[in-house]
Structure 1
Amino acid sequence: MGEQKRKIAAKQKSFIFEAKNYKFMLIGIAFIAIGFILMMGGGSDDPTVFNPEIYSWRRIRLAPALILIGFGIEVYAILLNPHKEK
């Protein structure tokens, strides 16, 4: 009798993560994408002309901070145990 239950349990497919994990993963991906979008631009079409806009606060401070926050959220989403009751 116990062997049949193990076979049935082995055949049942389940996801590693649940909806709560995927929600946090999508939030983390959104932070990372926004960070890379904010980092774009600031270049110059003429290589002999320097554009100081490449060193703007948005590209040097804000965008990398958003990317690191996004990676932190991704780690949290992977380590999150949705079955744990608080």
Structure 2
Amino acid sequence: MKKDNSPKQEFLFGKRNYMIMLIGIAVIALGFILMAGGGSDDPNVFNPDIYNWQRIRLAPTLVIIGLGIEIYAIFANPKK
């Protein structure tokens, strides 16, 4: 009989790290979804909706917060 002396495959991050990463990806995706839209169907008509608070302030802030969550997920101790 053969003995299995190969080392057990271990993931780089723990389950907690992956959960935090998924939350960060969801926050980033929400930021990009909020940035979308605001265009005009007629190219000769300007739609000032593109400069509303949601697209100028909220969406980029969510993307930056999501990136911060991702950085935290990478540096978080998986053993805790």
Common fold: TM-score over 0.5: yes
Structure 1 equivalent of residue 72 of structure 2: 76
TM-score, normalised by the number of residues in structure 2: 0.89
Partner of residue 32 from structure 2, selected from 21, 33, 36 = 36
Q: Which runs of structure 1 show a deviation greater than 3 angstroms over 4 or more consecutive aligned residues?
A: none
Structure 1 equivalent of residue 8 of structure 2: 12
Cα distance, 1:82 vs structure 2: 2.2
TM-score, normalised by the number of residues in structure 1: 0.83
Q: Rg bigger for which structure?
A: 1
Structure 2 equivalent of residue 48 of structure 1: 44
Q: Which AA in structure 2 matches 1:13?
A: Q
Aligned partners of 2:22 and 2:31: how far apart in 1?
14
Unaligned runs of at least 5 residues, structure 1: 1-7
Q: Does 1:23 align with 2:19?
A: yes
Unaligned runs of at least 5 residues, structure 2: none
Structure 2 equivalent of residue 58 of structure 1: 54
Cα distance, 1:12 vs structure 2: 1.3
Residue-pair matches, total: 76
Bigger RCO (CA 8 Å, 6+ sep):
2
* Deviation string, structure 1 residues 32-73 (Cα, Å, up to 9, x no partner): 011011111100111111000000000000000000000000
Query: Percent of counterpart pairs with the same letter?
Result: 64
Aligned partners of 1:83 and 1:16: how far apart in 2?
11
